[in-house]
Amino acid sequence: MEESRNNQVSESHDRNLTASATAVQLPNLLLASSSPRRSEILRLVGWPFQTVAVEVDESLRNSEAADEYVERLALAKAQDAATRHAGELILAADTTVVIDKQILAKPGDADEARQMLQTLQGRWHQVLTGIALVINESSQVAHEVTDVRFAPMSEAEIAWYAATGEPMDKAGAYAIQGQGARFIKEIKGDYFNVMGLPVRLLYELISRNR
């Protein structure tokens, strides 16, 4: 009788472990992005994925708010990939920087990078990332906001950082995970969002539909 009871307890425990493992299992994603930073984040948190390159027009529309902008572009990227990858769960994202209601996208050249850094130095700004999940005709879109404060920067520091080339493919002309980290005084919110992919928000969207 005792052995039978122990077996029942063991079987119940195994079922609970299996259920727990299923609850936190991450679905494979098709990342519609060539961004090495987003791939790095997914690898870091152990999320299985493959990548596919996409091209969309990233022009800002008249009177478009930053949150609308990043969500629209994220969805456009995911939908572009979905036309070639039916039945796969596609993730896309878009990140921008906002200060004084002005959107700072990727700088076009070193001069523009220096101008952006001059605007940001010594001040708070917001980083917004829109993410979209698409599978066939179904889609989810959301965005995350993180507040970031730059330390004051000298003209020499601004010129040096712009000359490194690191700011050139980054919204707001800096990389928090790179050499730009030395100029970040404080953040409020999701660090990964500043890198380009808010992992917690992604996990929440995935969990809603389990």
pTM beyond 0.75: yes
Q: What are the chain's domains? A: 2-208 (3.90.950.10)
Tokens 């490194």, located at residue = 164
What is the rounded CA–CA span in Å between residue 146 and residue 16? 37
Residue 21 is encoded by which pair of tokens? 């493992």
Each residue's pLDDT tens digit, 103-146: 999 999 999 999 999 999 999 999 999 999 999 989 999 999 99
* 190 part of the active site: no
Answer yes or no: are the C-beta atoms of 29 and 48 closer than 8 Å.
yes
What is the percent of the chain with per-residue pLDDT over 70, rounded to a whole number?
A: 89
Catalytic member of 14, 80, 94, 190: 94
Provide mean pLDDT across the span 52-56.
93
Provide mean pLDDT across the span 44-69.
94
25 confidence band (pLDDT: 50, 70, 90) = confident
Residue 26 is encoded by which pair of tokens? 């991450």
What is the rounded CA–CA span in Å between residue 90 and residue 75? 10
Tokens 């080339």, located at residue = 165
Amino acid 68: pLDDT: 97
> Does the pLDDT at position 13 exceed 90?
no
